[in-house]
Amino acid sequence: MMTTMPGDAARLRATVDFVREQDTTALLPLLLPGLDGPDLRTLVDRCRFAHAALLVFPPDAQALRTLLAECGLAPDTPAQPSVVVRERLASRYGRDAKELEVRILRPGVTGPDGARRTIEVFALTVPPGSELAGIAEHERARQHEAHLAFEVERAEPLMLRGLCAVLARRGAVPDGGGYNPHENGTVFYFAAPADSKAGYRRVELYAQGDHRDVLAAHLEEHSARQPAEALLRLLTGAWTTQALAAFAQLRVPDAMDTDTRIGVEALARTVGAVPENLARLLRYLAMLDVVTQDRDGFRLTPLGALLRADAPGSMRPLALMYGGPFYQSFAGLGHTVRTGQVAFEHLFGENHFDHFARDPELAELFDRSMAASSRMFEPLSGHPVVTAASEALTPGTVVDVAGGNGELLGHILSAHPRLRGILLERPHVIEAARRSLDALGCGERCAYRAGDFADVPPGGDVYVLSRVLHDWDDGRCREILRHCSRAMPDHADLLIVERVLPVDGSPSLATSWDLHMMCNVGGRERRANHYARLLGDAGLTLVDHSALPLGAGVMHARKAPVAEYAGASHRVSTAAGAESSSMWDTTV
């Protein structure tokens, strides 16, 4: 029985055969088309083909061992964590690196000349049914992590400079590198020429020893190429947003699929577009890996499939929202930074909540865009607090405060048939929530409360605030938390779902959303210790904080001891306590 994911065994066997059969002299001209004469002799005399690398996706460690055995490979050492590949994958797909378990092994093979070579196997664990399956399929198609490595023999500074110059002259572009003191080895990375016929996009030149003086010049050339090009790519980010929004608005993804290719003429007829212009849009999206193209036409990638209206967890509403009203208001970011006025209010003449409430179509789009991020909710149903409430002798009640269309509450109630729920929302939102929860089969176990934050129902066992607090300033947050605290029995727990800012300034979706909140609602993202202070001011204490998908996190809070709260209350301004708030939905 096949225990590995389809495609991995074939790819690994092909890599093994490639490494066993390739000769350095024959491989280099494939990698660098046109390489011959003195340049070819220079590289052949000084370099040896050492290994090829690929990324595979076994469901577990045993499947990885089986995969290697099927391909006749036996690792010399146990698998080790691969931090670099994990971080690249996290960056490429906007995931939390902690979600990605990537290992590296280097089993040996023998080349045609009898020399020992290796297969560098990176393995990302993808269990059955995992949401990482889309990443696996996309990586198999794009082969981002595949590369070829050549080891330099008897490396000397002058000779290394010459080798780097030969590669650059033949179209290989400097692409970083580094010195590894643990191995006492220096790595020079190159992007392969666009017309390379070796089947690999990246080339590694490895030299034993410390050659950081030569590496410095290589990195300087890489850096000289990067800033202007990188800045240009950043400056055109708005084009990407609009390309994706137009793709979704025209319903092009709905006329495509991931298995069958379709020609531009037929696609244009289906969606009502000009064929030539649609082809140009698709060509741009192919560069973003949203679609793929060959002579038979275009098809969706797993990334693009998320923009289909009927896709599970469809992100089409987000594309329309980010390419629509939020795109317009973000143009006023400079105004917000300069004046402190919320850009959305400056543009539309009213706040985000009132504007959406007056436009039923826009309100519905907003609610659907909120649901598009529902994959961040999935682990919440297994949170120890929720599980304990479900397993109690008397089944517990989950109170979802400002619960929108009931997406989160539906996840929890579906996973725990003994739990009951209460959803607190605005009257016009409750009807949509009722339909949603009825469709999930949870409606009979859920009560609905129309009202404001001041109307948080008492007597619940678990209270949930999901993407609510980031809409408000600190004063409003304190008041919302106080309403929750007053309603909560002493035994109750509070779960707060937000994107939490990192303490070390590392890249984070929360940092991006912080600008979004400032520009569109006047809110903000916060660090965990900031939330802890707000909780303390409301008579609550932060128990712990754990990660969720899509860069989110869940904070667990409980009522603080009376003495502790008395001290905190004394420090809070009575003016802050007098601020009013309204019961509104949250912002994506």
Residue 384, Ramachandran bin (φ over 0: left; ψ between -120 and 50: alpha; else beta): alpha
Alpha-helical regions (H) of 497-586: 509-520, 528-537, 562-571, 574-578
Q: Which of 218, 222, 352, 470 is catalytic?
A: 470
Contact 503, 545 (CB under 8 A): no
Contacts of 186 (CB under 8 A, 6+ apart): 155, 177, 178, 179, 180, 206, 207, 209, 210, 211, 212, 214, 215
Residue with tokens 């890249």: 507
- Note if 416 is an active site residue: no
**223 vs 531: CA distance, rounded Å:** 39
**343 vs 517: CA distance, rounded Å:** 10
DSSP string of 399-430, one letter each residue: EEET-TTSHHHHHHHHH-TT-EEEEEE-HHHH
Alpha-helical regions (H) of 183-252: 212-235, 237-249
148 strand-pairing partners: 52, 203
Order the strands of the 540-547 sheet from edge to edge: 446-450, 420-425, 397-401, 462-466, 493-498, 553-559, 540-547
Contact 449, 567 (CB under 8 A): no
Contacts of 26 (CB under 8 A, 6+ apart): none
Identify which of 1, 298, 312, 316 has the alpha carbon closest to the alpha carbon of residue 134.
312
Q: Which residues are catalytic?
A: 470
